[in-house]
Amino acid sequence: MVQTATLALMLKQLNLTSIARHWQTQLETAERNGWDGARYLSARCEQELADRHSRRISRYSKESQLPPGKSLASFDFAELPEATRAQIQALAGSSDWTRQARNLLLFGASGVGKTHLAAAIGHALTERNVRVRYANTTALVQQLQLAREQLRLEDALHKLDKYPLLILDDFGYVKKSQQETQVLFELIAHRYERASLIITSNQAFADWDQIFPDQMMTVAGVDRLVHHASIIEIVSDSYRRKHALGQRGSEPASAYPAPANRSTTSSADSARRNEPRASAINPEAE
């Protein structure tokens, strides 16, 4: 007869923690229901795999440093074209593109939801067993610059290799020294055709000479990013501005008297001026 203590020790040595916790209780269930050995063992293995998956996802979620509460379900897609919505959902619903080291570039003015979408895709891929790392671009560049000063930049870049997807948020705000922008370029070059990037930027490519002071570096950086990339441009009103206006609109009208000389526009003109647009471009040249 197998000694319970011996079995528990063997399960621990094999790192079968779920089976070690539940095998006795489930054995009683199996005996009551007349399960044979194969069915009982299969059930225990399924539970072990499910528990390992849950622990792994929890660990990936914690290490990702993704902003909490950002999901596709909580994003207002009402103002985006259906094709753009479908493309974003496809990117969140499959990890194939990360295995192919493809990139996603999200462009748009401040407040249109770029960070929300990037984080939502990151959360969705984490659930699919993809290790994701979110970072503010400026903060990460400063960390990498410090690593370079300490002669360990290569080590720092290789540590990021464990994340098949790296999200660089607020890319357009990087206006640092030439040394720091050089580090940013080295990060892009290092991950080229090796691992995926999601970049959010409020500046179009034409303005990236403000990020990379050297024109050749700008061209080389853009070239590496757009090769094997999907580009989504979102043009709409700022969600934060609309939220603030919505709160203002909920106040009594007398609290916000209209200016005496406020100009008026027709509803058609207003609709045309504020109509959101989003374009999805895939410059794949394979």
- Compute the Cα dihedral for 47, 52, 53, 55 and give only its sign: positive
Rounded (to 5) percent helix, strand, coil in the chain:
55, 10, 30
Q: How many residues are listed for the chain in this entry? A: 286
Instruction: Provide the pLDDT for residue 272.
Output: 36
* Each residue's pLDDT tens digit, 217-257: 888 989 999 999 999 998 766 655 555 555 555 444 433 33
Q: What is the mean pLDDT of the chain?
A: 82
| Backbone φ and ψ of 109, nearest 5° | -70, 165
Cβ–Cβ under 8 Å, residues 200 and 114: yes
Distance of alpha carbon 101 from the chain centroid: 14
Who's near 124: CB < 8 A, 6+ residues apart? 71, 72, 92, 93
Q: How far apart are the first and last CA of the chain?
A: 63
Whether 16 has a pLDDT exceeding 50, the answer reads yes
CB-neighbour burial class of residue 64 (10 A; exposed 0-12, middle 13-18, buried 19+): buried
As given in the structure block, the two tokens for residue 253 are 């009208």
Q: Which domains does the chain have, with CATH numbers?
A: 64-238+275-281 (3.40.50.300)
Whether 273 has a pLDDT exceeding 70, the answer reads no
**Nearest CA-CA partner of 274 in 98, 66, 109:** 109
Over range 9-37, report the average pLDDT: 84
Who's near 72: CB < 8 A, 6+ residues apart? 88, 89, 92, 117, 120, 121, 124
The answer to whether the predicted template modeling score (pTM) of the entire model surpasses 0.95 is no
* Each residue's pLDDT tens digit, 126-145: 999 999 999 999 999 999 99
CA distance linking residue 48 with residue 46, whole number of Å = 5
Instruction: Provide the pLDDT for residue 206.
Output: 79
3-state secondary structure of 279: strand
3-state secondary structure of 223: helix
Instruction: Provide the pLDDT for residue 266.
Output: 36
Sheet with 277-281: list strands edge to edge.
Answer: 132-136, 165-169, 196-201, 103-108, 229-235, 277-281
Cβ–Cβ under 8 Å, residues 79 and 276: yes
Cβ–Cβ under 8 Å, residues 164 and 131: yes
Kindly report the number of other CB atoms within 10 A of residue 140's CB atom: 22
**Nearest CA-CA partner of 169 in 193, 148, 204, 197:** 197
Beta strands 229-235; 277-281: pairing state = antiparallel
Instruction: Provide the pLDDT for residue 48.
Output: 87
Q: Estimate the crossing angle of helix 37-64 against helix 114-126, to 10 degrees.
A: 150
